[in-house]
Amino acid sequence: MDQKFDFSILRNLRMKRGMTAEGLAQKANITRATVIKLESGKGNPTIETLSALGRVFQIEASQLVQMAESGTTESGLTNAYEEGGFTGIQVRFPGFEIYHLKAGKGTKTESAPGLHDNTAEVCLVVSGRVRITVMGDPKELGLGAALRFKALQDHMLEVLDDAELLLIHHTLS
């Protein structure tokens, strides 16, 4: 498979920081022509150039390469979800899962360590109220509130009022 890269993302990174192409070139110790060529999607930077640009943006050269990968859209694998009183859909990507769930008052679920590795869990309450207890520390969440925690920690989710939730599991780096 022929991998293509589009370094025009540099323009967005530069503009987000309020920099000119000349300013970026000076900070990275490269020519303005190199910046313009890369931003136009026509350049093929050396690893030294990527390292220099990465230092300016305070990211690794490998992250710049990842950002520049063309055709990086992915479709998630979507399945109906129904377990322990929670119903909805599950969408899975590598290292990332989203659950859009509904549950009635009184529904509870406890952590399942076998399902989690080095992941974090985020719960966003779309409607209703829930209580999430992580390592014995309870937090009540209402409309629009969110909580993030390491999924390997003992945790329990209790629905206090009929609720709609987004649960997100993502790999920790």
Distances (CA, A) of 155 to 128, 144, 152: 19, 20, 8
Q: What pLDDT, on a 0 to 100 scale, did the predictor assign at position 90?
A: 96
Cα distance between residue 124 and residue 87, in whole Å: 16
The domain boundary, picked from 42, 68, 94, lies at 68
Distances (CA, A) of 63 to 7, 117, 119: 12, 23, 20
Torsion of Cα atoms, 51 then 56 then 58 then 63, to 10° = -40
Q: Residue 59: pLDDT above 60?
A: yes
The domain boundary, picked from 26, 46, 68, lies at 68
The model's pLDDT over 28-41, given as tens digits with 9 standing for 90+, comes to: 999 999 999 999 88
Residue scoring higher pLDDT (88 or 63): 88
Least-confidence region, from 35-49, 58-72, 73-87, 159-173: 58-72
Q: What pLDDT, on a 0 to 100 scale, did the predictor assign at position 172?
A: 80
Q: Whole-number mean pLDDT of the chain?
A: 91
Say if residues 81 and 91 touch (Cβ distance below 8 Å). Answer: no
Answer yes or no: do 36 and 83 share one domain. Answer: no
Residue scoring higher pLDDT (152 or 27): 27
Q: Residue 6: pLDDT above 90?
A: no
Alpha helices in the chain (DSSP H): 9-16, 21-28, 32-39, 47-57, 61-68
Answer yes or no: do 119 and 160 share one domain. Answer: yes
Q: Residue 163: pLDDT above 80?
A: yes
Answer yes or no: do 131 and 166 share one domain. Answer: yes
Q: Which residues, 6+ apart, have CB-to-CB distance to 21 below 8 Å?
A: 14, 32, 35, 36, 39
* pLDDT range class, residue 67, cuts 50, 70, 90: confident
**How many domains does the chain divide into?**
2
Q: What pLDDT, on a 0 to 100 scale, did the predictor assign at position 148?
A: 96
Residue 4 lies in a domain: no
* pLDDT range class, residue 113, cuts 50, 70, 90: low
- The residue whose two tokens read 């629009």 is 144
Hey, what are 79's tokens? 């399945």
CATH number of domain containing 88: 2.60.120.10
Say if residues 33 and 27 touch (Cβ distance below 8 Å). Answer: no
The domain boundary, picked from 38, 68, 98, lies at 68
Residue 140 lies in a domain: yes
Answer yes or no: do 102 and 154 share one domain. Answer: yes
Residue 155 lies in a domain: yes
Residue 3 lies in a domain: no
Answer yes or no: do 98 and 163 share one domain. Answer: yes
Q: Which domain holds residue 27?
A: 9-68
pTM as predicted: 0.64
Q: Which residues, 6+ apart, have CB-to-CB distance to 132 below 8 Å?
A: 123, 138, 139, 141, 147, 149, 155, 156, 157, 158
Residue 167 lies in a domain: yes
CATH number of domain containing 57: 1.10.260.40
3-state secondary structure of 27: helix
Answer yes or no: do 81 and 161 share one domain. Answer: yes
